[in-house]
Structure 1
Amino acid sequence: MDSTATAPLAELIAARLTTALNPTHLDVVNDSHHHAGHMGDDGTGESHFTVIVESPAFAGQSRVARQRRINHALADLLATRIHALAIRARAPGEPA
């Protein structure tokens, strides 16, 4: 059995971003309970997330480039399991 298919989605998101970005700070927040009964709520309790990530990989990159890197790391999950993803991405030393 593929453990990534059954792992809680927040853990899978964190693992993917850790591998892709080697972050100095990473929070993955499951916001799904705020959207219960709304469009995009699939009933799993794992559909809406916020990621707060600080990574040296973001140094000198625009906000859009940072979001693209995150979206690329999570592309298959965004296509199949994540309905909404809020992103706060910064390089070390930038204000939170």
Structure 2
Amino acid sequence: MPKPIRTSRRMWVAAWVVLCAAALAATAELNSSSAPDPPPQKPVSAECAEYIEDIEKQLAKAKQEGGDGVLAFSRVPAGTGDHCGEEFRAHFGGDR
């Protein structure tokens, strides 16, 4: 029976390092190549654009007067047609 080839621990560690580095490089390449396209921007209705413009003016005025620029919105009862919520969140960064 042939004698098995003995490999040192350094050789095993080097092999694992090479394999891990290759796996990390492949993962990074796959993540960068498969980045999803951003969703297309929906057009903002004229009414919502007017609300957003009014809010921007109020924020600028509050900033000039030395305020902190915080606005509070009251909730609108269901069925009254509050359809600008998504536009507000998209414009003012409501996902923060």
Whether the TM-score (by the shorter chain) exceeds 0.5 is no
Question: What TM-score, normalized to structure 1?
Answer: 0.24
Greater share of strand:
1
Q: Which has the larger radius of gyration?
A: 2
Greater share of helix:
2
Question: What TM-score, normalized to structure 2?
Answer: 0.24
Higher RCO, Cα 8 Å, sep 6+ = 1
